[in-house]
Structure 1
Amino acid sequence: MPKVIAVLGVGPGLGLSIARRFGREGFTTALVSRTESRHASYRSALTGTTTHTYAADVTDPAELKAVLARIEAEAGQLDTVYFGPADAAAPGLAPLTEAGADALRVPFESIVLPAARLVEAVLPGMLARGSGALLFAGGLSGKHPMPMLGTLAPASAALRMYVLTLNAALRETGVYAGTLTIGGLIERGDIHREFTKRDHGFAVGTLNPDDLADKAWSLYSSRDEAEAEFNAMAAV
């Protein structure tokens, strides 16, 4: 039976490239996004790959649990999950010098807690089998101070350390955890499109999502690194 990868938070940039890259390796892909509006185009873009599409808000605990159950019932047992939801329409970031504690809550609730709930749902089965992989996409502000990203930075740091600690804890179990730490705008993605519509007062370099997806596959297959960093900020 083909292995199955669930891509949570799929979009036209990195999520679709991840699905395409793993699909080339024979994986069945299960794509999850908030709405069905682009699912037909995603399936068309993955010609030759068995693809299932689902609409769910993965930041909602009940919807996350339900969509994971549907994927396993319809596509098959999950070998790999990729977590990379990003909302181009999310409220604007606030500088940490102006933000109170409440301003930090939204990034944690939309990034860190859903990631932990995903792991809580799928890790027991992976451990029981002695195989599987947990892949995440995070921001460079979780590793290097980037004041322009303000209230996003603490959540990015928390997600990064969560994954790195998972990686260390899972050694010798057969289950792998790794993260793509991304600094830059991902071409073809929604955030790239929205960001370039207006002047933010600073420049950001771009990254090819296919290159990131190739590295995600390398992390999955070699399992000798916990993190891959992509920094387009230094190039601008």
Structure 2
Amino acid sequence: MGVIAVLGVGPGLGMSIARRFGREGFTVALVSRQAARQAAYQESLRADGIESRAFQADVRDPVGLRKVLAAITDDLGPIDTVYFGPVAMEPGAGPMPITEVDAAAAREPFETLVLPAIELVSAVLPDMLDRGTGAILIPGGLSGKYPIPMLGRLAPASAALRMYVLTLHEALKDRGIYAATLTIGGLIQGGDIHAAVTRHFAQSEAEPPASLDPAEIAETAWSMYVGRELPESEFSTLPIPA
């Protein structure tokens, strides 16, 4: 089928995307900041008969991002599909009520999420356009679509990322390139944040919040890739504001 580059891969959705596309014959390039878990990721995929290669890079670094994309292409061939998993934020850089957000607080999500996504697209798009084929899948947060005041710190960047991908979809849909976003509201099973929250609730003996199945999200992502029409799918365990 080709090569899918899963950037910012983690044990939750990133690995589910890798596994779902790998089952269809894609060779998987796993990209993460640290190499500690890459061997386990590759062994898990190998057990399912999926070929993968592991690469180490911080996708927030434009130079490093372009170097790793070039290395993937040199090693595996042209990249058909890229999946950009949002990079984990630094400690203390998570949600913040919108009433407490200043410019400095809002800046970090742009630098962590939006700008690396744009840099990624600018790096892979010329080759995709030359070949007349390719796909770009970028997940984003529900606060970019609905007003959720407690997630307000993330809202400006989430909204910008969502509109960037939707606009890409419109610009590229008649040129053989598919761009789409997965709008996610809630914890994803298997991910690091889900594990931390689960431990917290286990210690307090309270019921943890509902979570999303990454395999189901990955299945939808595959259906979107095949159909190449929907610019967005939404997954949420959060109440949607009226």
State the TM-score bracket (shorter-chain normalisation): over 0.9
Q: 2:116: which partner in 1?
A: 114
Q: 1:69: which partner in 2?
A: 70
List aligned pairs for 1:55-134, cutoff 5 A: 55-87=56-88, 89-90=90-91, 91-134=93-136
After superposition, give the CA deviation of every residue in 1:103-140 in whole Å (9 maximum; x if it has no partner): 11100000000000000000011011110000011111
> What is the aligned-residue RMSD (CA, Å)?
1.9
Structure 2 unaligned regions, length at least 5: none
Is 1:226 equivalent to 2:227 in the alignment? no
List aligned pairs for 1:1-236, cutoff 5 A: 2-47=1-46, 48-87=49-88, 89-90=90-91, 91-198=93-200, 204-234=209-239
- Find the aligned partners of 1:89 and 1:103 in 2 and give their Cα distance: 12
Aligned to 2:239, the other structure's residue is in SS state helix
- Find the aligned partners of 1:177 and 1:55 in 2 and give their Cα distance: 25
Counting matched residue pairs gives: 234
By how many angstroms is 1:89 displaced? Answer: 4.8
Give the AA of the match of 1:44: E
- Find the aligned partners of 2:27 and 2:192 in 1 and give their Cα distance: 24
- Find the aligned partners of 2:166 and 2:151 in 1 and give their Cα distance: 22
- Find the aligned partners of 1:177 and 1:42 in 2 and give their Cα distance: 26
- Find the aligned partners of 1:35 and 1:76 in 2 and give their Cα distance: 23
After superposition, give the CA deviation of every residue in 1:156-215 in whole Å (9 maximum; x if it has no partner): 11100000000001121000000100011000001111233436x997420000000001
- Find the aligned partners of 2:121 and 2:181 in 1 and give their Cα distance: 14
Aligned to 2:200, the other structure's residue is in SS state coil
- Find the aligned partners of 2:187 and 2:212 in 1 and give their Cα distance: 6
Between the aligned residues of both structures, percent identity stands at 58
Instruction: Confirm or deny: 8 A CA contact 2:197 2:208 kept in the other structure.
Output: no
- Scaled by the length of structure 2, the TM-score of the pair is 0.92
Instruction: Confirm or deny: 8 A CA contact 1:56 1:67 kept in the other structure.
Output: yes
By how many angstroms is 1:99 displaced? Answer: 1.7
- Find the aligned partners of 1:124 and 1:165 in 2 and give their Cα distance: 17
- Find the aligned partners of 1:64 and 1:117 in 2 and give their Cα distance: 8
Instruction: Confirm or deny: 8 A CA contact 1:204 1:233 kept in the other structure.
Output: no
Structure 1 unaligned regions, length at least 5: none
- Find the aligned partners of 2:16 and 2:154 in 1 and give their Cα distance: 24
- Find the aligned partners of 1:104 and 1:234 in 2 and give their Cα distance: 24
